[in-house]
Amino acid sequence: MPSFVVNGIKKALLEVQDYFKFLGQIARGLTSRPVYFRDIVEQFEDIGLGSLTVVLLTGTFTGMVLALQSGITLDKFGARSMVGQLVSASMVKELGPVLTALMVTGRVGSGIAAELGSMMVTDQISALRALGTDPVRKLVVPRVLAGIIMVPILTIIADAVGMVGAWLITTTQLKVAGSVFWNSVVMGLYIQDVWMGIIKPFFLGFVLVTIACHVGLRTSGGTQGVGRATTNAVVGGSVAVLIMDFFVTKLLISLMY
């Protein structure tokens, strides 16, 4: 095996090892004092309210295009009235959680990596340590808590506006009665689907924020390093969201269905 392949594998394994060590530090920060309530509230606002606009737009237009495409396909089988059932199952179980997490990764993940990376290259992290402040408790734990709590809330909002968008398209473009659409939505959703759509965002929010923080705190090389960290955070976070989505979906299916 060529040496550059071996070196690449070693580097990847070391990165994974460092990431899991970082998760251990986060666990200690979550379960011990001090707790920085002001920073937590600020991150709730930044990650939650700051991402609301992009999530609203993403959810609305995803629901609209899903209804439009589904209507064309279902017309072939004379089942246009079942658009609501298809859209609701797709949005709640899969598209809502994943698209919301990807949008938050693009907006929040890049911001976290850039902010923490800038603090690293300007020695602000070292200054915190010199003052006796744990950077993980001060900078990472508030962001992780905000990600775990706000991503599920944003997902619920995305699902809701997605269904409204699908209803608008179904009634105006597909000429299906609104009552038929909403009855189809109710028929197409089971309680297991709702739980799956609520549980998955907790894991997705955790992984996207922790990867962004990990990449940010490992930044080096000045402003160019900050740029690389931002790119790596978005790419790595997006891939991790998709991988985590698969494994969590597989686990929930085995437990609930």
Cα gap 198→173, rounded to integer Å: 30
Placement of tokens 């011990």 in the chain: 32
Q: Which residues contact 225 (CB under 8 A, 6 or more apart)?
A: 117, 121, 219
Q: Determine if the pTM surpasses 0.95.
A: no
Cα gap 211→226, rounded to integer Å: 15
For residue range 59-81, what is the model confidence (pLDDT) as tens digits?
999 999 999 988 888 877 777 78
Query: Residue 1: its pLDDT value, please?
Result: 64
Helix axes 141-172, 52-75, angle to 10 degrees: 40
- From the list 147, 162, 170, the residue with the least C-alpha distance to 99 is 162
For residue range 26-52, what is the model confidence (pLDDT) as tens digits?
998 888 888 888 999 999 999 988 899
Placement of tokens 């990472």 in the chain: 140
Q: What residues of the chain score a pLDDT lower than 70? A: 1, 4
Contact call for residues 43 and 145 (beta carbons, < 8 A)? yes
- From the list 241, 65, 93, the residue with the least C-alpha distance to 170 is 65
Q: How many residues does the chain have?
A: 257
Cα gap 180→58, rounded to integer Å: 25
Contact call for residues 174 and 223 (beta carbons, < 8 A)? no
Query: Residue 213: its pLDDT value, please?
Result: 94
State in Å, rounded, how far the first CA of the chain is from the last one: 44
User: In the 3-class helix/strand/coil scheme, how is 112-152 assigned residue by residue?
Assistant: HHHHHHHHHHCCHHHHHHHCCCCHHHHHHHHHHHHHHHHHH
Query: Residue 75: its pLDDT value, please?
Result: 79
Signed CA dihedral, 175, 179, 182, 188: sign only: negative
Query: Residue 4: its pLDDT value, please?
Result: 67
Query: Residue 256: its pLDDT value, please?
Result: 81
Query: Residue 103: its pLDDT value, please?
Result: 94
Contact call for residues 185 and 171 (beta carbons, < 8 A)? no
Placement of tokens 């990847």 in the chain: 12
Both tokens of 16, joined, read 């994974």
Phi, psi of 185 (to 5 degrees): -60, -45
List the chain domain ranges: 34-256
Query: Residue 207: its pLDDT value, please?
Result: 95
